Chain A
Amino acid sequence: MRHIISLLMENESGALSRVSGLFSARGYNIESLTVAPTEDASLSRMTIVTSGSDEVIEQIIKQLNKLIDVVRVLDLNDGKYIERELMLVKVKAGDKHRDEMKRISDIFRGRIIDVSDNTFTIELTGSSSKLDAYLESLDGDAIIETVRTGASGIGRGDRILKV
């Protein structure tokens, strides 16, 4: 099953490679991994999207906790959470397709952030599956370029990951 794991770690050089190294050394999947400092610059917050059986996910959480620089780990799937990913897509938008592209992007609440004679660049946020759905709704030939940030996640309401 797909899991979103959130973690806080010391903002030390090499911290990212400890996490990515752990995943490759133990053969765990990484679908995406995002990281940036938090409001407290001594901490980094990371969101890892992974998948595996319950046993594998349990091991991943334990192994992450075992890393000396990791302060807290939370499996967001253990409760309610919100997930968002940002995607930038450059699509063909020549005369013929211009209206159609605008319409689809509106349906998905995308914003057109750059326009040229033949292209639109659209900014879209949402769960990763929403972004997938958007891409699927386009004719494959229409997509010129995509950039995705990978998912970020946060617990709902009182579910808080903080030091």
Chain B
Amino acid sequence: MKSEIITGAEIVIRSLQEEGTEFVFGYPGGAVLNIYDAIFSQTKFKHVLVRHEQAAVHAADAYARATGKVGVALVTSGPGATNAVTGIATAHMDSVPMVIISGQVPTHAIGQDAFQECDTVGITRPCVKHNFLVKDINKIASTIKKAFYIAATGRPGPVLVDIPKDITAESAEFLYPKEIHMRSYNPVTKGHLGQIKKALDILINAKKPVVYSGGGAVLGNASAPLTKLVNLLNFPITSTLMGLGGFPASDEKFLGMLGMHGTYEANMAMQDCDVLLAVGARFDDRVIGNPDHFLSKPKKIIHIDIDPASISKRVQIDIPIVGDVVSILNDLIEVYEEQKNNHDKNQLEPWLKQIKTWKSKNCLAFEDDKKVIKPQRVIQTLHEVTKGDAFITSDVGQHQMWAAQYYPFDKPRRWINSGGLGTMGVGLPYAMGCQLAFPDAQVACVTGEASIQMCIQELSTCKQFHLPVKIVNLNNRYMGMVRQWQEFFYGNRYAESYMDALPDFVKLAESYGHVGFKIEKPEDIKPVLEEAFSPKLKESLVFLDFITDQTENVFPMVPNGKGLSEMILAEDL
């Protein structure tokens, strides 16, 4: 190979190209001007200019969630980096593989309180999988290589690379390492076969089993083996908010989502089971409620996870299996095939009957109204009109829960939302990331009038890059989820949860050059959604402002700190 002497900025660009980067979501500034100058004369990846660095990181994050590839964001030093922090923390909480390149003041100015200086590595340390400050031009390429490797392997996560301006101006030889070896980082891959056999033994003897799958099953691309194993076992399965789509929702074994706003059948089955198989899920507070209550019914718990630190963190695990979820599930399938004659499926009958009874409660039923739009109806119609095959992003609040409850996902990586950090404002940039990755796909952003205003400036990015996302704004003139808690737990004192002085969203969309509709009558839901997704508007971003029932609440609900079976149901009120 002939040696090439290029600038540090060019090394950054070439390294990203070597990693197969398709999109860099970014925003320029002083410390990254050299890098932007190198971007000016390259064509291998597309730079997407956002309108706020937070959105750059969210969009890169969604690109990663939707495709499984590493998302890339580029921001300047100081305010560029601090604006990116919310996006980074959001990706970190949901284990999304990303590389964030941030500019830094020149090495000689570090520590001098220079213009636009901040300790980016220090500020982001608690919300990244790892980060680096590169002080030597000869280490740029190997550091970026490491960053991609760390981001994508093991339990994925965001990795930040902070690069001072002066070293992007220097020149050095470009040599991109083919592979990387780190003595301090060797994620496990295969699961322990002894543990797998023990687990299978427990599974085939279970009388009241349930499978509980989480975001790890989606991130680990384990949908196919998970579905196969569950079908072989004929077990009921539930999923966390982050795991939706990991197992097809239209399968009758699927109990719906569990947790704070999970279905009656899913939560009852979780609570009552004798054997629980957890697949890439982490027993968090929104999922199992009060851990003591959860364990008050004895159960054997098998936990498959890539991250040893997730095992026995909140709940003591009987059979931990650490490793890559696909490899472990395939091993389980193999061992099952050998043993399947020992599996008496008749022993599941009483349990499956019990589950049917729970299901018959029909806990997600709601009553349509002639005059006001029910948000649940909007989501169900969205599912119908998009034939269940859209990418659905959401913001955070009631609308997020309704989207999760009323849009059944049959495929993984179609449901893109902020589960761990619960970041309002992700919806629109998430939709941008999905639409760029899949230009021909239907992409809808389910949002609320409060959340959408947190990254509304991205309507401009959507115009520039011709991103025809459909924004489904469930406009209840309230921070609905906040209002719901205030109604239930704070004696109807709606402190600061009313969204006053809302903009005219239709005019707002139009002012950015998009199409807007305001929908106030229930009978208009379907025709307007059909129009929005019609070939006529295929190229247009459509802002659908649905004026919905202000008083609607999300049910079922497990109050904070309560047990899973202590749900409040719609019918109770």
Contact = CB atoms under 8 A, between A and B. Distances in A.
Q: Do A and B truly interact?
A: yes
Interface of A: 9-10, 13-14, 17-18, 21, 25, 55, 58-59, 62-63, 65-66, 68-71, 163
Contacts, number: 39
Contacts of B495: none
A18 B125 contact: yes
A28 to B, nearest CB: 13
29 contacts: A9-B184, A10-B184, A13-B133, A14-B121, A14-B122, A14-B133, A17-B122, A17-B125, A18-B125, A21-B125, A25-B126, A55-B312, A58-B312, A59-B309, A62-B308, A62-B309, A62-B311, A63-B309, A65-B308, A66-B307, A66-B308, A66-B309, A68-B130, A68-B182, A68-B184, A69-B130, A70-B184, A71-B184, A163-B183
A3 to B, nearest CB: 17
Which 7 A-B pairs give the minimum distances between C-beta atoms?
A: A62-B309, A68-B130, A71-B184, A62-B308, A68-B185, A66-B309, A25-B126
Contacts of A17: 122, 125
Contacts of B125: 14, 17-18, 21
Pick from B125, B182, B307, B309 the residue with the most CB of A within 10 Å: B309
A62 to B, nearest CB: 4
Interface in B519-533: none
A113 to B, nearest CB: 36
A65 B188 CA distance: 12
B129 interface: yes
Given A14-B125, A62-B308, A66-B309, 5 more contacts: A21-B126, A58-B312, A65-B308, A66-B308, A68-B184
B313 interface: yes
Interface of B: 121-122, 125-126, 129-130, 133, 150, 182-185, 307-309, 311-313, 316
Contacts of B312: 55, 58
Contacts of A9: 184
Nearest to B185: A68
A31 to B, nearest CB: 22
A71 B313 contact: no
A111 B559 CA distance: 63
A62 B125 CA distance: 18
B184 A59 contact: no
A71 B185 CA distance: 7
Nearest to A14: B121
Nearest to A8: B184
A104 B185 CA distance: 49
B313 A59 contact: yes
A14 B160 CA distance: 14
Nearest to A68: B130
